[in-house]
Amino acid sequence: MLVFIGLGLNSERDITLRGIEEAKSSDLVFAEFYTSKMPELNLKNLEKIIGKEIIVLSRKEVEEEGVKILEKAKNKKVALLVAGDPLISTTHVYLRIEAKKLGIETKIVHNASIISAAPSISGLQNYKFGRSTSLVFPEKNFFPTTPYDVIKENKARGLHTLVFLDIKENKLMTANQGMKLLLEIEKKRRENVFTEDTKIVVLARVGSDSLSMRFGRVEELLNQDFGEPPHTLIIPGELHFMEEEYLARFG
């Protein structure tokens, strides 16, 4: 059996009781943290909570050697601990599909995800969000502009846009870097989609006691210090009066 266990957003204290029970009863416990980061996670404390050693896997080990996890799951109960909520990542979806092909039973233990927590803490109405998008670090001959197009499409429909910021092995994109990248795309496209006058919500460390939420024009927020990542951006569409009041009071 392969059990996907969501750990939530911030620290080892976010694991659910069900998650603890499933991990404790597993023969092997793996974890991966490259698809999302938990800023206050203490792995040793998590091992104490579940009473098991945790084998942390790199991106390569999960994506290229996931078959080894499945081989062990054929005759043992294997747990895979992941930040946020399982199956939000396509990597986890792939593993579950492959497990099904091999006749391996799977189980999902859900937890909080930035996909639900960001709209929630921002006070923006969930049903008014359009397609979400991800900003990635540019590389040589690689500067994708898809996020700009997604924001443009959502704005045209009056919808909010949730923007995820890139995560590398030891590098997390900040809100400041994300805003600057979108302004660079605006300079090239000049379609008035993301300018210094654009209103934006900046979220930092959602799910932690050090949560930071700011709302304002890009020009006002561009050089502010939001503290340590992970950061998330929301570009609001048309705002309901209650959304406006919430942002005014809490942003």
Q: Are residues 84 and 103 in the same domain?
A: yes
- Tokens 């992970």 correspond to what residue? 230
What whole-number percentage of the chain has pLDDT above 70? 100
Is the whole model's pTM more than 0.85, yes or no?
A: yes
Domain end among 109, 139, 157: 109
Same domain, 80 and 149: no
Shared-domain flag, residues 105 and 186: no
Cβ-proximal residues to 220 (8 Å cutoff; 6+ apart), any chain: none
Per-residue model confidence as pLDDT tens digits over 99-153: 999 999 999 999 999 999 999 999 999 999 999 999 999 988 888 999 999 999 9
- Domain co-membership, 118 together with 240: yes
How does pLDDT run across 195-230, given as a tens digit for each residue? 999 999 999 999 999 999 999 999 999 999 999 999
My answer on whether 105 and 119 are in the same domain is no
> Can you give the residue range of the structural domain that contains 49?
2-109
Strands 2-6 and 28-32: unpaired
pLDDT tens for 32-45 read 988 788 999 999 99
Judge if 104 and 178 occupy the same domain.
no
Domain's final residue, options 60, 76, 109: 109
Distance CA 157, CA 154 (A): 5
Same-domain status, 67 and 147: no
The last residue of a domain, from among 109, 128, 144: 109
**pLDDT tens digits, residue range 155-196?**
999 999 999 999 887 789 999 999 999 999 999 999 999 999
Distance, CA of 218 to CA of 236 (rounded, Å): 12
CB 145 within 8 A of CB 185: yes
